[in-house]
Structure 1
Amino acid sequence: MSDALSYRPKTGEIPTTPGVYRFRDATGRILYVGKAKNLRARLSNYFAPLHSLHERTRRMVTTATGVEWTVVGTEVEALQLEWMWINEFDPPFNVQFKDDKSYPYLAVTLADEAPRALVTRTEGIKGARYFGPYPKVWAVHETIELMLKAFPIRTCNNANYKRAMQSGKPCFAGQIGRCFGPCSGLVSMEEHRRIVNDFVSFMRSHDKKLINELTQEMKDAAAAQQYEIAGKRRDQVRALNAVLEKSAVVLRDNVDIDLFAIEQDELAAAVQLFIVRGGRIRGVRGWMVDKELDVTTSELIDSMMRTAYNADALPPREIVLPELPDDAEALESWLAERAGRKVRLVAAQRGEKAALLITAGNNAKQALMLYKTRRSSDFVARSKALEDIQDALEMPAAPLRMECYDVSHLSGTNIVASMVVFEDGLPRKDEYRRFNIPESTDDTDSIYQILTRRLAYLKPDSSPADAAQPTAGPAADSGASDAAELEQKRAKFTYQPNLLIVDGGQPQVAAAKRALAESGVTGIQLCGIAKRLEEIWLPDSEYPVILPRNSDALFLIQRIRDEAHRFAITHQRIRRKKDISSILGEIAGLGPARVKVLLQHFGSVARLKVASAAEIADVRGIGPVLAESIYAHLRG
């Protein structure tokens, strides 16, 4: 492949001013829209030697047949124009946000003659005041139920309200005590409007002043022996307190912020938005992102702002982000124009906001994991993934049984490896295996060793007893007391996979190929997955296989690789912990309790080894004599 793109403009032709650029394909379709503070500097990155580009960027620039740009006056104008064109042209290589659901809101139709409270997923009702979004629809209904006890307002739809007003008979909801509009005959239009305003005011600010006033009215009515009024005020106070309890207090009462967290990998990202008003979390919203190009967190934040604050959604005065984007000032100006006031972007480093950001980040991490798991677990998606893997690797049949191997070590010590098994696209955890590797020169040698041991079970002229034993997954084979159970585990280990996957690129695949060739086993396809670009490498292949970034096939292979990595890391940590305990356990007078205290104090054996005898003696429960013994043993 030539490194020269035929449509590459001359460097001197590209302006150095802010602007927006567009890549087009042969049909004229816009593939990608981007903005730049300096067009020449930004576009030069796309026309670097092809071999140095990220694979997905390389795919975009080689698919395109032309690039054009529009110069603007400021970076803010570039941001606005980019946003407009992305919405208009929907370029396939731009970040695509997918809202994971439509969220319910509590809306009050203030523009109506007699405003009503309703649950809706439709934004943009003229004159309505929205509260939310809420994570679940039952949460909105529960809030309305409680609020109606304190502020009885209309809930019936417009048709029922109109019919009731014409007939002079309350609507059905009013007859059963569920609607308290003017049609009920209990309040006038003016009284109802006042109650609605109180409803909106409390939902907006959650000010406890109203609760204090109602509490005082309750006490006054009770003192005057007006027990019916006192009972109503008591019920109102309980309802409002219940609403306050439903909204968790996370920050000070005067804090109104939107807080974003992002969790991402090479192919997808999960975004979580916490809407905080009056120091309380009013709503939670989430998006999933399929990343067609390898975008930075800064670029992802730019796109996230466009998604969050489109249409009628206005930003608060402060937005908390995991990190500030490169064009933070321009983004603040763009948001300020939409809000009609100043908007500040901040990156929380410490304190209450940083703690809330961690919580939002945990939610984003869970959302990403769930998104990938669902894609891998869906039967139709799994079937399509297996078919696509078969086609991409040119296999004679779909890989119904796949095994993936990964190596883990700590600076060349405690070398272990893992084998995970997927059948029909689902994990078979009872057939996972762990390997201990006494000595190895590097990861390729480790891959060769474990595959040699594993493939020994598949040799036509060998019995399982002749092969080196692995360490079993959930329970070690060597620890099994039941001979029948041991034989069953060995039998499972003799099942031949259709596809062997190793974690790594060409060197790891070459080592695996050598082990496969020496074993004499045939009928097994071999490949490796390289982490950085998510490329699939085949033996003796000069170029990798590139699976579409949003394909179920790549998601499935990623999941297998990640599971093998997790399983190897877990085993390596267990080995390391046992080694630490055994090293310290050899010292006379140092039992498990004191070992725990030492490790908690120093954090690791490495730090303990460089500590002086006096520093060790300062640890609770360790005297000078025992400290000298520990010091001598570790230094010896």
Structure 2
Amino acid sequence: MTDPASYRPKPGEIPDSPGVYRFSDPSGRVIYVGKAKSLRQRLASYFADLTTLHPRTATMVTTASRVEWTVVSTEVEALSLEYSWIKEFDPRFNVKYRDDKSYPYLAVTMGEDFPRVQVMRGAKRPGTRYFGPYSHAWAIRETVDLLLRVFPIRSCSAGVFKRAAASDRPCLLGYIDKCSAPCVGRITPEAHRLLAEDFCAFMAGDTGTFVKRVEREMRQAASELDFERAARLRDDLGALQRVVEKNAVVLSDATDTDVFALALDELEVSVQVFHVRGGRIRGQRGWVSERVEDLDEAELVERLLLQVYGDGGADVPREVLVPHLPGDHAELSDWLAQRRGARVQLRVPVRGDKRALADTVRTNAEGALALHKVRRAGDLTSRSRALEDLQRELELPSSPLRIECIDISTTQGTHQVGSLVVFEDGLPRKSDYRHFVVRGESGEGARDDTAAMYEVVSRRFSRMRQERETTAMPGIDPETGRPQRFAYAPNLLVVDGGPPQVAAAARALADLGVEDIALVGLAKRLEEVWLPGEEFPVVLPRTSEGLYLLQRVRDEAHRFAISHHRKRRGKAMTRSALDDVPGLGPARQKALLAHFRSLKGLRAANVEEIAEVPGIGPRLALTVHDALHREPAAGSTAEPGILGA
């Protein structure tokens, strides 16, 4: 524990200006980021008597060993810089409104020549229209299935689209009239784009226009005695009405707004947000976060809005409804307006439909917090017990709050890869996961698993030592100011394997002079825990939470290694016969396959036809022709037809 007085700045050193500050621990890791209208007043509050501070604040200042600050000219700049630092450094003492899952969106790729409707998750892409988020992907698929009757736009993948175009035959959706089949030219690109624009307009809330249009066409078809078309339009009208019924109007003024609500206790805060577009609820999100900062509800709202809208993950609407206005809500409104490119109204609803909707959102937040507490109680207890078990059974000096595990994956000595996974406080920290391609002394791989383990452990900790020795502030890259990749040491290193793997890892640590890291191996057969140099293993009880945690860490490392190994092996197996043709690079290969549609078509062509492809001369055409008609060498792993299939 650090004495805050040891790093407290002198009063005259701190400017009385707005700015952003950050606390760092002895290893250089940024643990807290904040902003202030007056840096002098705010920072002075952290160095008061520890007994007067909130317990979380006291823990933070005694964990830190350094404080730095940056002066800015306006509070809007302070908001932007605070958000960017929180996103960059991921401080452990800041509230992180992390969603517990990736919500799906209904997306229309308007940036493509033939726009496609699909389910999308993750970061938003330019040129794509998004609707949602939805709570379940099946809800999107039901909506799309209904709307494709009226707006038969493309919904297939790029691969299916290309194969249909090459064979001049549409897929099943084209035959059942749920796709206008632009792949085979049934509709022009311009007409297909108009269909996509109508689809987006309907999803954006302009439902009445299309419902009335289909009704009018249905009556006209009936008056012309075209009853077959009238019946089809009747079914289309029913599909539109079912989609409209699923999105009931909640705000009569057809406004665009996001409605936020919080439910909190001393330890956690539950967040709910309803996305309302055109007066209809288009999406809902909710999650629970730990309250690691001593913030009131207004400050929690400010931090929430920064994180929800800061990374572009959510569109900023014209109006944002919140349960409490932050103290600097005017500056926050300006910041939101900058993100949106137009004025944004930030306010607390007090009456009418918007107040009723806000109450509904708050009820959802309260229910989610109650459910989370029931589920979380057992999980928190088991994690704490697991760390205590490991500390006691392995005789560690402290609880292993950071555990790293290394696993090796290979196929008969080829495509060797190593994985490193990280668990902090008993939970995976996926941003710190790393892959290693095992090179060995020859550059083509290690001779066996122990040599591979020695190499991976050596590379991981030699990098840590190098980063610590070459930087003035441990843990921070001097050029970028960002956290370094390997600067933080684990309290416990786990290797997948028994005595041979543990011995190899211990030898690597000893060769590097690393002595303050506990090392164990977990053998798969009997789940035995092996310590370096011990003749017999430590056998943890089968009901031990510590053993369960080690198994989860080991299994995660194995999964991570296998996934990377399969990618490398898959790339090696997709070699084409064209790869071995001298002078034929990727661009020319692509040109040939695009011209002849497949490797089979290229093989059927003569030298003159190959030479007609732009960039392929007569000499290279002859070389390609000879390579494709040459018998494969014995033992070759190339599969001549794999790229043209």
How far off is 1:310 after superposition? 3.4
2:267 paired residue number = 267
Deviation string 1:18-37 (CA, Å, 9 cap, x unpaired) is 11111122222222110011
1:376 paired residue number = 377
1:33 paired residue number = 33
For residues 128 and 44 of structure 1, what CA distance do their matches in structure 2 show?
A: 48
Q: Which structure 2 residues correspond to residues 21-420 of structure 1 after superposition, within 5 A?
A: 21-183=21-183, 186-312=186-312, 313-378=314-379, 381-386=380-385
Q: Tell me, what secondary structure is at the counterpart of 1:249?
A: coil
How far off is 1:348 after superposition? 1.2
Q: Tell me, what secondary structure is at the counterpart of 2:94?
A: coil
For residues 3 and 236 of structure 1, what CA distance do their matches in structure 2 show?
A: 72
For residues 223 and 213 of structure 1, what CA distance do their matches in structure 2 show?
A: 15
Which AA in structure 1 matches 2:352? G
Q: Tell me, what secondary structure is at the counterpart of 2:262?
A: strand
Tell me, yes or no, if the aligned pair for 2:272 and 2:365 is still in contact at 8 Å. Answer: yes
For residues 192 and 2 of structure 1, what CA distance do their matches in structure 2 show?
A: 66
Q: Tell me, what secondary structure is at the counterpart of 1:252?
A: coil
Deviation string 1:208-250 (CA, Å, 9 cap, x unpaired) is 1221122122112211212122222222221111111101211
Which AA in structure 1 matches 2:357? L
For residues 123 and 218 of structure 1, what CA distance do their matches in structure 2 show?
A: 41
Q: Tell me, what secondary structure is at the counterpart of 1:78?
A: helix
- 210 and 175 in structure 1: CA distance in 2 versus 1, 3 angstrom threshold: closer
Tell me, yes or no, if the aligned pair for 1:266 and 1:294 is still in contact at 8 Å. Answer: no
Tell me, yes or no, if the aligned pair for 2:108 and 2:129 is still in contact at 8 Å. Answer: yes
How far off is 1:125 after superposition? 3.1
Tell me, yes or no, if the aligned pair for 2:271 and 2:286 is still in contact at 8 Å. Answer: yes
How far off is 1:141 after superposition? 0.7
Displaced runs of 4+ in structure 1, greater than 4 A?
Answer: 1-4, 385-392
User: TM-score, normalised to structure 1's length?
Assistant: 0.59
For residues 311 and 294 of structure 1, what CA distance do their matches in structure 2 show?
A: 24
Tell me, yes or no, if the aligned pair for 1:105 and 1:119 is still in contact at 8 Å. Answer: yes
For residues 318 and 194 of structure 1, what CA distance do their matches in structure 2 show?
A: 30
How far off is 1:3 after superposition? 8.8
Tell me, yes or no, if the aligned pair for 1:171 and 1:183 is still in contact at 8 Å. Answer: no
Deviation string 1:49-77 (CA, Å, 9 cap, x unpaired) is 21111111111112222222111100001
For residues 83 and 289 of structure 1, what CA distance do their matches in structure 2 show?
A: 17
Q: Tell me, what secondary structure is at the counterpart of 2:366?
A: helix
Deviation string 1:311-369 (CA, Å, 9 cap, x unpaired) is 33330111000010011111111111111111111111222111111111111112112
Runs of at least 5 residues in structure 2 that lack an aligned partner in the other structure:
392-544, 546-645
1:16 paired residue number = 16
Q: Tell me, what secondary structure is at the counterpart of 2:356?
A: helix
- 104 and 59 in structure 1: CA distance in 2 versus 1, 3 angstrom threshold: same
Tell me, yes or no, if the aligned pair for 2:2 and 2:64 is still in contact at 8 Å. Answer: no
Q: Tell me, what secondary structure is at the counterpart of 1:309?
A: helix
Which AA in structure 1 matches 2:262? I
Q: Which structure 2 residues correspond to residues 438-453 of structure 1 after superposition, within 5 A?
A: none
Identity among equivalent positions (%) equals 49
Which AA in structure 2 matches 1:221? A
Tell me, yes or no, if the aligned pair for 1:335 and 1:343 is still in contact at 8 Å. Answer: yes
Which AA in structure 1 matches 2:70? T
How far off is 1:176 after superposition? 5.0
Q: Tell me, what secondary structure is at the counterpart of 2:5?
A: coil
For residues 302 and 343 of structure 1, what CA distance do their matches in structure 2 show?
A: 15
- 385 and 66 in structure 1: CA distance in 2 versus 1, 3 angstrom threshold: closer
User: For the pair shown, which has the larger CA radius of gyration, 1 or 2?
Assistant: 1
Q: Tell me, what secondary structure is at the counterpart of 1:22?
A: strand
Tell me, yes or no, if the aligned pair for 2:152 and 2:177 is still in contact at 8 Å. Answer: no
For residues 178 and 2 of structure 1, what CA distance do their matches in structure 2 show?
A: 67
Which AA in structure 1 matches 2:210? L
Tell me, yes or no, if the aligned pair for 1:155 and 1:181 is still in contact at 8 Å. Answer: no
Deviation string 1:580-636 (CA, Å, 9 cap, x unpaired) is xxxxxxxxxxxxxxxxxxxxxxxxxxxxxxxxxxxxxxxxxxxxxxxxxxxxxxxxx
Q: Tell me, what secondary structure is at the counterpart of 2:6?
A: coil
2:431 paired residue number = none
Which AA in structure 1 matches 2:356? A
Q: Tell me, what secondary structure is at the counterpart of 1:229?
A: helix
Q: CA RMSD in A?
A: 2.5
Tell me, yes or no, if the aligned pair for 2:106 and 2:131 is still in contact at 8 Å. Answer: yes
Tell me, yes or no, if the aligned pair for 1:156 and 1:179 is still in contact at 8 Å. Answer: no
* Greater displacement, 17-26 / 314-323: 17-26
* Greater displacement, 181-190 / 123-132: 181-190
For residues 38 and 351 of structure 1, what CA distance do their matches in structure 2 show?
A: 39
Which AA in structure 2 matches 1:213? R
Tell me, yes or no, if the aligned pair for 2:76 and 2:331 is still in contact at 8 Å. Answer: yes
For residues 34 and 149 of structure 2, what CA distance do their matches in structure 1 show?
A: 52
Deviation string 1:427-463 (CA, Å, 9 cap, x unpaired) is xxxxxxxxxxxxxxxxxxxxxxxxxxxxxxxxxxxxx
Tell me, yes or no, if the aligned pair for 2:320 and 2:346 is still in contact at 8 Å. Answer: yes
Q: Tell me, what secondary structure is at the counterpart of 2:146?
A: helix
1:609 paired residue number = none
Q: Tell me, what secondary structure is at the counterpart of 1:205?
A: coil
How far off is 1:307 after superposition? 2.2
* Greater displacement, 292-301 / 147-156: 292-301
For residues 318 and 203 of structure 2, what CA distance do their matches in structure 1 show?
A: 19
Deviation string 1:484-534 (CA, Å, 9 cap, x unpaired) is xxxxxxxxxxxxxxxxxxxxxxxxxxxxxxxxxxxxxxxxxxxxxxxxxxx
Deviation string 1:157-211 (CA, Å, 9 cap, x unpaired) is 1111122123221124424554333135543333222211111111112331221
Q: Tell me, what secondary structure is at the counterpart of 2:295?
A: coil
- 200 and 22 in structure 1: CA distance in 2 versus 1, 3 angstrom threshold: same
For residues 341 and 307 of structure 1, what CA distance do their matches in structure 2 show?
A: 19
Which AA in structure 2 matches 1:348? P
Which AA in structure 2 matches 1:360? V
Which AA in structure 1 matches 2:361? A
- 232 and 36 in structure 1: CA distance in 2 versus 1, 3 angstrom threshold: same
How far off is 1:391 after superposition? 11
- 382 and 52 in structure 1: CA distance in 2 versus 1, 3 angstrom threshold: closer
Tell me, yes or no, if the aligned pair for 2:60 and 2:93 is still in contact at 8 Å. Answer: yes
For residues 148 and 245 of structure 2, what CA distance do their matches in structure 1 show?
A: 16
Figure out how many residues of one structure are paired with residues of the other and give that number: 393
Q: Which structure 2 residues correspond to residues 603-622 of structure 1 after superposition, within 5 A?
A: none
Q: Tell me, what secondary structure is at the counterpart of 1:192?
A: helix
Deviation string 1:397-443 (CA, Å, 9 cap, x unpaired) is xxxxxxxxxxxxxxxxxxxxxxxxxxxxxxxxxxxxxxxxxxxxxxx
For residues 297 and 198 of structure 1, what CA distance do their matches in structure 2 show?
A: 42
1:565 paired residue number = none
For residues 198 and 153 of structure 1, what CA distance do their matches in structure 2 show?
A: 10
Q: Tell me, what secondary structure is at the counterpart of 1:274?
A: strand
Which AA in structure 1 matches 2:353? E
Deviation string 1:96-124 (CA, Å, 9 cap, x unpaired) is 22212111111111112211111121332
